[in-house]
Amino acid sequence: TETRPLPLSTVELQKRSSRWLKLSSAETMDIAESLYQRGYLSYPRTDTDIFKSSCDLRALIDLQRTDPRWGNFAAALLDTVPETAPGAFKWPRQGNRDDEAHPPIHPTKSAGPNEFQHAREKKVYDLVARHFLACCAQDAIGRQTTVLLKLGQCEIFEAKGLIIDHRNFLDVYPFETWRESS
């Protein structure tokens, strides 16, 4: 099993933006604040990594149906039944921080790929939206096999193989990978 990410806090947004988008913490927060002020993101300065049960996550996912990049994934989250089936919505994992002031960072409206003037805004929005959808998806499921071969008294060879049965959150979250090998 490859575990889906926790809901997005400020520190996690900064870490992931630095790692995957090559933006500094200050740049990330300036962009996120601008996106918040224009209504694209929730308040970006939060330690919270827990969505309260009163948060209508399905409505937030539904806003993403029209996006050509991940709209089909959002639709599948909502339309797949039963909820235990691969690809179906699953309530996000609970972190251990709740600042009691703001929910985790998430998109608050849909934004087409050409809606932003600056590429960095598009990248940060893309990261937040994909992260949100990934945390509302199921874990990736796979099987790994390890074969040990002992030749004589000294030589040991090891081979591992991974078969991914259900990619689930990995289909929308290209930042994390779980590579299949043979």
Q: What is the 3-state secondary structure (H, E, C) of 28-83?
A: HHHHHHHHHHCCCECCCCCCCCCCCCCCCHHHHHHCCCCCCCCHHHHHHHHHCCCC
* Polymer length in residues for the chain: 182
- Choose the catalytic residue: 40, 43, 125, 173: 43
DSSP reduced 3-state for 169: helix
Please indicate whether residue 40 is annotated as part of the active site.
no
Q: How far apart are CA 69 and CA 82, in angstroms?
A: 25
Active site positions, annotated: 43
